[in-house]
A and B are shown apart, each in its own frame.
Chain A
Amino acid sequence: MKKTTFFGAVAAATMTAGFAAAGTLDDVKAKGFLQCGVSTGLAGFSAADANGNWDGFDVAVCRAVAAAVLGDPQAVKFTPTTGKTRFTALASGEIDMLARNTTWTFSRDVDLKFTFIGVNYYDGQGFMVPKELGVSSAKDLDGATVCIQTGTTTELNLADFFRSNNISYEPVPIETNAEAQQQYLAGACDVYTTDASGLAATRATFENPDDHALLPEIISKEPLGPLVRHGDDQWADIGRWVLNALIAAEELGITSANVKESAMAAGNNPEINRLLGTEGNLGEQLGLSADFAKNAIAAGGNYGEIFARHIGESTPIGLARGLNAQWTDGGLIYAPPFR
């Protein structure tokens, strides 16, 4: 910013010196910070506190990448994006990476020309109903009015689900989760549908959460993950392997508490040694320092720690690991080997 604001005004398109055309990694190193797109506010995933510090499950991914690339988890600038501005912000280069509970779909990956660097949360669309309605399955919802956020994959999933089950529904389109909450509580709709994590978080804020039930059906796959632009494979690799490092760290038992100690000298587990850079040259292959994974883990802990701190069962959001447990615990969270 600084000068550019005003000269931007009069000159409309003054080029700022330095970064153009080079790879994203070089850009980020030259800038000295990572520009990360996050949600304007989603409980547990991204929120700014009273002092303006961003925190959350998605924010933690940004911080880990910043720590891996620049060695400093605070070297991130956050751009709040809405569901409508997120993709253009990334495509136009305004942000280097988008971590905004975005569902990985074919068309977003292929047609919109983005690269998803992994999945940090496996979600699925669910339904919430008041218990007094006496509904125990989503298939009983024939003729129900459904509150639904417009412009999201949930809208399409809902239409698919009702059509395939040959039942009818009446949509009540709403713009934001907060609005949906009010509409649902005021009785404007019988059912509220959105990602199950969102439903759980929403229900936790009700005055009487026990009066409402989540139906057992999960009608869609919503793998949420961070993404980058197509065409810069080095940058995509960095994002992907930082995320994998967090996941592998949980599997290997490396936490924010013991990572410094483990990275001091090579231990007797070769995979930990390769991950933390005490053996081999994985960091160098990525174009980063050897201790990139150590920095990323030290930033906010391993995947399990990040999950527990922001959205886990001890938080008000209270999500169980479920599908997001390590593969060794029957979940889908699985990092390819560091080799």
Chain B
Amino acid sequence: MSDTHAQTVAYVRETMLPEQAPPSTAAGPIKWMRDNLFSSVLNTVLTLLSVYFLWVVLTLVLPWVWYGSWTASSLKECREAVAGLGLAHGAACWSVIGERYLQLIYGFYPDELYWRANLAFILMLVALAPVLYPNLARKILWFSALYPFVAFWLLWGGTLWTPVVAVAGFVFAYLAFEILNRTAGSLVAVIAAILAPVVWWLLLAGPVSNGLASVMPLAIEPVESAKFGGFMLSIIIGVTGIAMSLPLGILLALGRQSDLMIVKAICVGFIEFIRGVPLITLLFVASTLLNYFLPPGTTFDIILRVIIMVTLFASAYMAEVVRGGLAALPTGQYEAADALGLDYWKATRLITMPQALKISIPGIVSTFIGLFKDTTLVSIIGLLDPIGLTTNIRADSNWNGIVWELYGFIALIFFIFCFSMSRYSMYLERKLKTGH
């Protein structure tokens, strides 16, 4: 404390004034509203208009939703019950959802086997966890790799040997590669690794599986594809499509950037062809045209055909999204990878692809969400996905004429799935953000 001013001025404050709360107009919700809702005349007008709009919509929708009937057993009964409420715009008949929600979720899957579908769904979450959250134990990835076969067995049933011999094909591919890579060079090893499983699957897998099954069945009750429906079908098609289109898309994107002329031509041709054709056309090819080409009596499962088409369709889009990411990388990254002496696959795996994928996350997730929603198109070829089931439910004379409740319920479920995907992609972007 100096006394410089002690003689020159009459009074000097020696302590700070205590802090005071900001004025009520510059703090808390009022400040937030002033900043965000009423910062200018235009903003104020827009805010008031939006509030009015929301008020109008919600006063119409909320009573309709809230006072809906959960007990009526038919549309007629429901209308009578609702008319008694005296609401201007009526109320929903939620009882159709109450009666049919299991069908909307599982389709015609036998109800005593719902546990298998549920188990497959829970295991799917387990299998996805290490892929989505990299800090989990890496060993679960083995389960993720095996999951498609487990899920197939759980959902379709039959003997356990079917998926086992299918997995064996991959094991043979790996063994062929490992053995021949040491003795006969990498090219021979790659060719053998492709040929071995194909030969196995085409010629030997069926008899071996049947043989093993006759010795020791290990079978659970089979369920035919015609019984699949509802959200279960959407999820099966969507998740399989998503899981397979990303690796395929990456390969196609790399192929399109490749210096190998034939590989490049094939990839460009494939991508441009698929992108040039509407998905619905591909689905019609899957459902009707293929039957003409295959020999009569062939059983080629319709769900499988649809999954293949959906995957091909999504992978062409995915390829372009990933190619966008690759193109956005500075050339320096490629050159740096070369300067380190990395070969092509190592450079791609360690340097370029992780960065390219990070850049393309929003595009990739958009493609996923689009793919998941596109699964509803299968209703046009007669598969009973949730949209297809609405037609069926309306054909029940109790519920003929009901529309909004069913679509509302389906929209809600789709929203939950798509919104979670979108939130996850935002989490991933934040986590991978390195530009500080």
Q: Which A residues fall within an 8 A CB radius of B?
A: 1-16, 18-21, 39-52, 56, 77-82, 84-85, 88-89, 91-94, 176, 178, 181-182, 201-202, 204-207, 315-317
Contact = CB atoms under 8 A, between A and B. Distances in A.
A5 B152 contact: yes
A202 B394 CA distance: 11
A40 B229 CA distance: 12
Interface stretch (B155-163, B326-334, B355-363, B420-428): B155-163
B400 A40 contact: no
B174 to A, nearest CB: 17
Is chain B's binding surface mostly helix, strand, loop or mixed? Answer: helix
A26 B303 CA distance: 27
Interface string B164-205: 001001000000000000000000000000000010011001
A84 B284 contact: yes
A88 B288 CA distance: 6
Given A16-B299, A88-B292, A91-B292, 18 more contacts: A10-B169, A13-B294, A15-B297, A41-B394, A41-B395, A49-B396, A50-B100, A52-B103, A79-B382, A80-B382, A85-B288, A85-B381, A88-B289, A89-B382, A93-B291, A178-B390, A178-B391, A201-B400
Contacts of B294: 13
A6 B391 contact: no
Contact of B108 (A47, A48, A92, A206): A48
B300 A6 contact: no
A108 B164 CA distance: 47
B400 to A, nearest CB: 4
Nearest to A4: B299
B220 to A, nearest CB: 11
B367 interface: no
B403 A205 contact: no
Contacts of A40: 379, 382, 384, 388, 391-392
Interface string B362-386: 0000000000000000011111100
Contact of A7 (B201, B289, B384, B388): B201
B397 interface: yes
> Which 3 pairs from chain A and chain B are nearest by CB?
A205-B401, A92-B291, A41-B395
Nearest to B155: A5
Q: Kindly name the residue among A20, A80, A93 whose own CB sees the greatest number of chain B CB atoms within 10 A.
A: A80
Interface of B: 75-76, 79, 99-100, 102-103, 107-108, 111, 152, 156-159, 162-163, 166, 169, 198, 201-202, 205-206, 209-210, 222-227, 284, 287-289, 291-292, 294-301, 303-304, 308, 379-384, 388, 390-398, 400-401, 403
Contacts of B102: 50
Given A48-B108, A204-B400, A176 B225 contact: no
B222 A316 contact: no
Contacts of A20: 295-297
Contact of A3 (B159, B300, B383, B396): B159
A178 B401 CA distance: 7
7 contacts: A3-B210, A5-B304, A16-B297, A41-B393, A81-B382, A93-B297, A202-B401
A49 B201 CA distance: 40
A9 B288 CA distance: 17
A92 B107 CA distance: 25
A10 B308 CA distance: 12
A82 B401 contact: no
B394 A1 contact: no
B226 A79 contact: yes
Contacts of A15: 295, 297-298
Nearest to A19: B297
A2 B156 contact: yes
B180 to A, nearest CB: 22
A8 B225 contact: no
B108 A52 contact: yes
Contacts of B382: 40, 79-82, 85, 89
Contact of A41 (B111, B157, B392): B392
Contacts of B301: 1, 4-5, 8
A84 B162 CA distance: 34
A50 B99 contact: yes
B166 A6 contact: yes
Nearest to B388: A40
A7 B206 contact: yes
A308 to B, nearest CB: 14
B304 A8 contact: yes
Given A40-B391, A52-B227, A10 B205 contact: yes
A11 B225 contact: no
A89 B302 CA distance: 12
Contact of A50 (B76, B103, B292, B400): B103
Contacts of A39: 395
B288 A8 contact: no
A4 B301 CA distance: 7
A1 B299 contact: yes
B392 A11 contact: no
Given A5-B225, A93-B291, A205 B75 contact: yes
A2 B222 contact: yes
Contacts of B157: 2
Contact of B397 (A43, A88, A94, A176): A43
B158 A3 contact: yes
B401 A181 contact: yes
Contacts of A51: 111
B205 A178 contact: no
B152 A47 contact: no
Given A14-B206, A52-B108, A93-B297, A178 B394 contact: yes
A47 B225 contact: no
Contacts of A3: 158-159, 162, 206, 209-210
Contacts of A41: 391-395
A225 B162 CA distance: 42
Contacts of A93: 291, 296-297
B296 A21 contact: yes
A82 B377 CA distance: 13
B408 to A, nearest CB: 14
Contacts of A5: 152, 156, 225, 301, 303-304
Nearest to A27: B297
A316 B397 contact: yes
